[in-house]
Amino acid sequence: MQKNKTDLLVEVADYYSEKLAQHGVTPRGVDWSGEEGQGLRFEQLCKIIDGQNQFSLNDLGCGYGALHDFLVGRYSGFSYAGIDVSESMIRSAEQLYKGIPQARFVLASQPDGVADYGVASGIFNVRLGRSDAEWCAYLEATLDILDRTSRLGFSFNCLTAYSDAEKMLDYLYYADPCALFDLCKRRYSRNVALLHDYDLYEFTILVRKSP
């Protein structure tokens, strides 16, 4: 099982490294269609942050660190750790944010410490040739990691099973939002929100913990 997970992460890293090589440090470089959708996505994920300016955040699957810029425009006094399995993504992020003490980047599959919040954007979308069972096991194991490494809560997004059938692609994973909401309620916290009211073919789940 561990070997299988390692192979899966290598596939994911290679996929995103190729996207970065093709499109550079842009939303398309992390397989999003454009800046507008990326900003809307970040807005939903950051609803987990409870209004304060002093907080720490782990960005799991950070890409080239675009979420950091989104946070800078809205908060002050936070610390940011970006984590990614793609070496080229981490190297690009380190160059972009060189000399910024509040931002650091780690080449890994999970955070190296506990933060107030954990965020995962887009990491559950591209399953390539993996089966539903394999991908669900990876998704749930990653949610366990987010739970273990966040103090106040975590958020993540997925493509939705409510997408238009004719537009759904075989290599992408479309999750059941109700099933994941139920999982998070039963496994992680009484306080869970499902956001499915923004104009993208996806949803965001917020898991809030008691301080």
* pLDDT at residue number 53: 74
Domain residue limits, the chain: 2-208
Which portions of the chain are predicted below pLDDT 70? 1-6, 16-17, 20-34, 211
Q: Which two tokens stand for residue 28?
A: 């398309």
* pLDDT at residue number 52: 72
* pLDDT at residue number 115: 98
Please name which of 160, 147, 150, 146 lies closest in space to residue 197, comparing C-alpha atoms. 160
* pLDDT at residue number 11: 72
In whole angstroms, give the CA distance from residue 25 to residue 106: 17
In whole angstroms, give the CA distance from residue 43 to residue 206: 12
* pLDDT at residue number 23: 59
Please name which of 54, 94, 86, 89 lies closest in space to residue 71, comparing C-alpha atoms. 54
In whole angstroms, give the CA distance from residue 192 to residue 188: 9
61 near 139, Cβ under 8 Å?
no
Whole-prediction pTM value? 0.87
Q: Is the domain 2-208 a CATH 3.40.50.150 member?
A: yes
* pLDDT at residue number 3: 41
* pLDDT at residue number 27: 55
